[in-house]
Amino acid sequence: MSFSQAVLTWYDKNARQLPWRSFPSPYRVWVSEIMLQQTRVETVLPYFERFITRFPSLEVLAAASQEEVLRLWEGLGYYSRAGNLHKAAQQMLLMHAGQIPSIVTELERLPGIGGYTAAAIASIAFGEPVAAVDGNIKRIYARVLALIEPYGSVRFEKVVGDHAQTVLPPDRPGDFNQALMDLGANVCLSRQPLCKACPVMEHCLGFQSSIQNELPVRIKKAPVPHYQVCVAVIQSHGKILLCKRGSSGVLAGLWEFPGGKCEQKDNSLEDCLVREVLEKTRLEISPDGKIGVFKHAYTHFKITVHAWHAKLLPGQLPEVPENYCWVSPPDLADYPMGKVARKISDSIAGNSTLL
């Protein structure tokens, strides 16, 4: 049996039952593929169900506010995906008569859709014979081909990309791509692959040479930077100050408590807090009791966030730049936030005597 036949035969018996597979409309496939970027299936499932219930079609999504889309996305991470999904829905309504394009080249022109996602949507939803090759699938091919080129190198990408397209069965490209996704998730695991249960064991040169655990070859990455960040829950006239992040970069469009990164010139965390708030809002504050310390890891850096209650020093008007606003404590839940800001918000909401 060929490699492709072995993969498809295994998939026909072992495919994961997933909601976007039961009713694979282009809209559901698109939403699922965006949610699955950098995110595990188990994490995506409840978000997908909630999202599709609230936004059952491209038209409904396009008509929603960006704030509401972000609120439903909260906790899923990589928030630029939510903004791009929303923008792409509006573009498709205007430029594609409300239809999701069916070919890779047109899909790639939409916000948030790169080569892999375009290939996944085109093959699964429309049957275009294109290989979708993500990190898990690259791992499978690195092992099957016993590829010793470093992962991510030009040569690695070329060999894997060409091979993936060569073995893709033109009559079932979507199933084949999804089969490899399942194989990477459940059998050809990143550590300790389950080779004895693998349908392509006989085609796998890495397994035959007993080097599968060393593949793919990865070049050591530089250590991830770790930042200390100080933020303030500033209260004035019964309201709390929030800041909206810019429209690009990490946590784009989400709300957070004012503050920023420690610098060498800061003599203490409290100094950092007062300086950051002054630089960003022109408000002078004094820390008034620590709320807690919150850690979080992003893809390219880690942060430890120190959060305080803080008061405005007397004699100031609570005027703030336009990306800031004063919010009543019960309304904090309506403002989309990243994980750390939401934890801070929840911890102050759970301690009503502090409000």
Residue positions annotated with a catalytic role: 33
d(CA 121, CA 137): 16
Instruction: Indicate the angle between helix axes 135-144 and 173-186, nearest 10 degrees.
Output: 80
Shortest Å, Cβ 172 to ligand SF4: 19
Is 258 in contact with 281 (CB distance < 8 Å)?
yes
Burial 144-176 (b: 16+ CB within 10 A, else e): bbbbebebeeeebeebbeebbeebbeeebbbbb
Residue 69 found at the interface with ligand SF4 (CB under 6 A): no
Residue 180 found at the interface with ligand SF4 (CB under 6 A): no
Residue 133 found at the interface with ligand SF4 (CB under 6 A): no
Residue 8 found at the interface with ligand SF4 (CB under 6 A): no
d(CA 318, CA 237): 9
Residue 32 found at the interface with ligand SF4 (CB under 6 A): no
Q: State which of positions 144-173 bind ligand SF4 (CB under 6 A).
A: 144
Shortest Å, Cβ 155 to ligand SF4: 20
Residue 143 found at the interface with ligand SF4 (CB under 6 A): yes
Is 7 in contact with 181 (CB distance < 8 Å)?
no
Residue 207 found at the interface with ligand SF4 (CB under 6 A): yes
Q: What are phi and psi of 152, to 5 degrees?
A: 90, -10
Q: In the set 85, 188, 234, 341, which binds ligand SF4 (CB under 6 A)?
A: 188
Q: H or E stretch including 183?
A: helix 173-186
Q: In the set 131, 140, 340, 344, which binds ligand SF4 (CB under 6 A)?
A: 140
Segment contacting ligand SF4 by CB under 6 A, of 137-145, 173-181, 259-267, 341-349:
137-145
CA angle 61, 244, 110 (to 5 degrees): 35
Considering CB under 6 A, how many residues would be counted as binding ligand SF4? Answer: 15
Residue 4 found at the interface with ligand SF4 (CB under 6 A): no
Shortest Å, Cβ 153 to ligand SF4: 20
Q: In the set 110, 198, 262, 348, which binds ligand SF4 (CB under 6 A)?
A: 198
